[in-house]
Amino acid sequence: ELKVEQNPLFLSMQEGKNYTIYCNYSTTSDRLYWYRQDPGKSLESLFVLLSNGAVKQEGRLMASLDTKARLSTLHITAAVHDLSATYFCAVDNTGNQFYFGTGTSLTVIP
Amino acid sequence: NAGVTQTPKFRILKIGQSMTLQCAQDMNHNYMYWYRQDPGMGLKLIYYSVGAGITDKGEVPNGYNVSRSTTEDFPLRLELAAPSQTSVYFCASSYPGSSYNEQFFGPGTRLTVL
C-alpha cells in the first residue's frame, strides 16, 4: 500500500515569515498533487507535479518534486493571513487510485 | 459547467438506516471517486469507477456500495448505517487522458449517524 506522510501536521507562523511543508511517499508515483482545504469546504487543486525536478509557483506558494527522494515540498514565502488553511499532498498510483497525506493545518498569525 | 455536484449537503441517520449519496459531473470525465474524510484526517478512497459499468474497491469499501450506470452519475449507497460511518463524503472526477489526471471535487456531504 502506498503511504503518504506530511510534516508538520500543524504549523503556526507569523505573517511575513517563510516556511516549508514536506510530503514523503513510499513508492514510485506518476504524479504529485497539492490541494488546499478551507474549514468546512471542499478541496481546491493548487499544483500538479509531473516529473523529477518539477517546480511550480503561484503567488506566495511554490511546490517542487524530487522523485528520487520521493519528496515534495510546498514553500510559503512571506505568509499572509489568507493562506491559513489545511494543505494536502496526494499521489496517484497507476492513475486509478489516489493516496492522500493527513494534511498540514496552517495558521498565519497577524 | 456545474462541475461536480453532490446531494444532500447534510444528513443525520439513525443506526441501521440506509441512504444514497448522489454525485454527478458534467465534464464528461471517465473516472469518478468517492472519499471519506474523518475529522483532522486526510481523504480515504472508498470506491472508484473508470467508466460506466465498471467499479472497484478503494482502501475502505466495507459498508458501502456503488454503481455507475452512466458517465455522469456515481451514487454511493450506505446500508445499515453505523456510527463509524459518521464523516464527510467527497465525490471527485478526473480525466485520465490528460497528463495531469487532475481531480475535481464536489462540495461534500456531511453525514452523522446516531
Region B39-61: mean pLDDT is: 93
Mean pLDDT to the nearest integer, B51-72: 95
Burial (Cβ within 10 Å: 0-12, 13-18, ≥19) of residue A53: exposed
Residue corresponding to grid cell 464527510: B88
Chain B residues in contact with A41 by the CB 8 A cut-off are 107-108
**Of the given ranges (A33-37, A79-83, B40-44, B84-88), which has the lowest mean pLDDT?**
B40-44
Look at B96 and B105; give whichever has higher pLDDT. Answer: B105
Mean pLDDT along residues B46-67: 95
All residues of chain A having their beta carbon less than 8 Å from the beta carbon of residue B34 are none
Q: Identify the CA nearest to A93 among candidates B36, B56, B52, B108.
A: B56
Contact A98 B45 (CB under 8 A): yes
Sign of CA dihedral B81, A37, B100, B97: positive
Nearest to A100 by CA among A109, A110, A87: A87
In this prediction, residue B40 has a pLDDT band, given cuts at 50, 70 and 90, of confident
Task: Give the model's pLDDT for residue B101.
Answer: 81
B98 pLDDT tier (thresholds 50, 70, 90)? confident
pLDDT at A96 over 80: no
- Radius of gyration of the CA atoms of chain A, in A: 13
Does the pLDDT value for residue A95 go beyond 70? no
Query: Which of A21, A24, A98 to substitute to test the interface with B, most B CBs within 10 Å?
Result: A98
What does the buried/exposed string (b/e) look like for A6-45 if buried means 16 or more CB atoms within 10 Å of the residue's CB? Answer: beeeebebeeeeebebebebeeebebbbbbbbeeeebbee
Question: Is the pLDDT assigned to residue A110 strictly greater than 80?
Answer: yes
Asked if the Cβ–Cβ distance from A88 to B42 is below 8 Å, we say: yes
Which residues of chain A are within 8 Å of residue B105 when distances are taken between CB atoms? 42-44
Cα–Cα dist B63/A52, whole Å = 39
pLDDT of residue B60: 94
Tens of pLDDT, residues A13-71: 999 999 999 999 998 777 899 999 999 999 999 999 988 888 999 999 999 999 999 99
Contacts of B107 in chain A (CB under 8 A): 41-42
> Do the bridges between strand B10-13 and strand B109-113 make them parallel or antiparallel, or are there none, so unpaired?
parallel
* pLDDT band at residue A93 under the 50/70/90 scheme: confident
d(C-alpha A86, C-alpha A47), whole Å: 15
Arithmetic mean of pLDDT, B7-22: 97
Residue B62 pLDDT greater than 70, yes or no: yes
Mean pLDDT across chain B: 94
User: Nearest CA to CA, how far is B54 from chain A (Å)?
Assistant: 12
- CA B114 – CA B111 distance, rounded (Å): 10
Residue B88 has pLDDT above 70, yes or no: yes
Pick among B88, B105, B109, B110 to test the A interface (most A CBs inside 10 A)? B105
From chain B, pick out residues whose CB is under 8 angstroms from the CB of A4: 42
Spatial distance between the Cα atoms of A7 and A104, rounded to a whole number of angstroms: 7
